[in-house]
Amino acid sequence: MSKARELKHTTRLRARYKETDQMGVVYYANYFVWFEVARTEFFRDIAYPYSRIEKEQGLRLMVVAADCSYKMPAHYDDIVDIECIVSGTGNASITFKYNVLRGSDLLACGETVHVFTDFSGRPKKIPADIKEALK
Amino acid sequence: MSKARELKHTTRLRARYKETDQMGVVYYANYFVWFEVARTEFFRDIAYPYSRIEKEQGLRLMVVAADCSYKMPAHYDDIVDIECIVSGTGNASITFKYNVLRGSDLLACGETVHVFTDFSGRPKKIPADIKEALK
Amino acid sequence: MSKARELKHTTRLRARYKETDQMGVVYYANYFVWFEVARTEFFRDIAYPYSRIEKEQGLRLMVVAADCSYKMPAHYDDIVDIECIVSGTGNASITFKYNVLRGSDLLACGETVHVFTDFSGRPKKIPADIKEALK
Amino acid sequence: MSKARELKHTTRLRARYKETDQMGVVYYANYFVWFEVARTEFFRDIAYPYSRIEKEQGLRLMVVAADCSYKMPAHYDDIVDIECIVSGTGNASITFKYNVLRGSDLLACGETVHVFTDFSGRPKKIPADIKEALK
């Protein structure tokens, strides 16, 4: 990993009413939606919008594992920052770590592991230019 | 419309925790999800599972309009019955009405209007056998 | 309605992967979620954040009716603008209209009707200061 | 753990159109929603409906960790069985394991860890009768 460029991107969003449940906090599965929003913005940031990876390269980023640890609840209308960090890459795989922050409070952290596949689900090597951008 | 067969199907489901919001009731957009579940079961009931309409006939049921009136809130774990009734068909279009009931209480009612299209979005006549089944 | 201030607010957001379905477009119920995001930003814009209306005034904005007409599909990663316009107010009720735009293309338009209630669901007059702000 | 009663419950459901994404498979965060549906049915099965735990005992089951491994994708209209198994209990905590099956195919497996809390979020011992039922 190059020192010149940190493989990290932070996305800011607001908790939606829809994302709360009757506990009055953001429903636990929605953190994985926030991770996805942060991944999308990460790829845009390194100049490989995920929409282009799908459309132009015919590749998909299949999820093979996902986890989240919940420290403090997020509430409706909270502004949260989702840090998305590349924590590892393999031939066909990529691992992201996430931190969900409200100001300096860490609300949750998690990880997702993905494999690049073609549209029929066969694993594919990470394209050279994306691999380059991830360095 | 044949008297022998009423074009109505009732689907029973339970309100999920996920479907509530911090008001402690089912979030309003989720009624449209319930309508979709009821439509799916309606098509299965007339022997044209929607999954087959997409896969085998290459057709889609695009939504062009949807509305819902909310009478009483649904709560977590409520058992609700969704009545789905064909209220009209055109050359390429079909209109459904819905009633959401908890026991004999009417919680909500709504309507969705759909057009059959091919995968590129062009309107298509309702296939003859589906039209027949809808009679 | 004062000429000096138009009761309209526009919120920009991006379609999430989560919001698509296997048709490759944004699932119809999610437009109502976007309407909610736009309402939240509308209230913030007139200086009455909805989170404060709930917390400080003990009021809720119950939905009694909602509809949407779909003109063109929204896709993953599209930037959309949601216009939220107050189209009517009663003693306890408020009606919003919405336009969903991608650039100059109108993707959808809709309406929601709400009643202010207390936490037990009883209708309440719109608080004087909110009524004032809505003028 | 008593031999007479296995602390496992299986819930059957159908994948909803809403739950798919433009990859044509069930979106990854929705497996956590299915886990929640399975937990709800697990508690009903041991005669402690979660709705009663909240309402009558003033307790909540806060999630502190969740993970899922994805083996094969689920598709729209698939019938899936969600096995929910108690894999551990502490003073205030409970751990569930899940298997998502389509017929004999294992689609995904996961785990959630929860802490019983009161409505202000303070951890509370598992009530004696629930502890008894979990034996």
User: pLDDT for D40-70, tens place per residue?
Assistant: 999 999 999 999 999 989 999 999 999 999 9
Each residue's pLDDT tens digit in chain A (135 positions)? 444 457 999 999 999 999 999 999 999 999 999 999 999 999 999 999 999 999 989 999 999 999 999 999 999 999 999 999 999 999 999 999 999 999 999 999 999 999 999 999 999 999 998 998 888
Q: Which of C28, C64, C112 sits opposite B66 (nearest CB)?
A: C28
**E-assigned strand segments in D90-131:** 93-102, 105-117
Judge: A22–B18 Cβ closer than 8 Å, yes or no: no
Structure tokens belonging to residue A85: 């960090």
Is A21 known to be catalytic? yes
The pTM of this model reads 0.96
DSSP state of D125: P
Which member of D21, D29, D76 has the closest CB to residue C20? D21
- Chain-chain contact of D18 with B36 (C-beta, under 8 angstroms): yes
CA distance between the termini of chain D: 5
CA-to-CA distance for A111 and A63, rounded, in angstroms?
Answer: 11
Q: Which of B49, B50, B77 sits opposite D49 (nearest CB)?
A: B77
Which of B22, B25, B30, B32 to probe the A interface (max A CBs under 10 A)? B22
Chain C: touching chains (3 or more CB pairs < 8 Å)? A, B, D
**What is the distance in angstroms between the Cα of C6 and the nearest Cα belonging to chain A?**
24
C interface with D, Cβ–Cβ below 8 Å? 17-18, 20-25, 27, 29, 76
Instruction: Provide the token pair at A99.
Output: 């931190």
Interface size, chain A vs chain D, as Cβ–Cβ contacts under 8 Å: 51
Chain B positions touching A24 (Cβ under 8 A) are 22
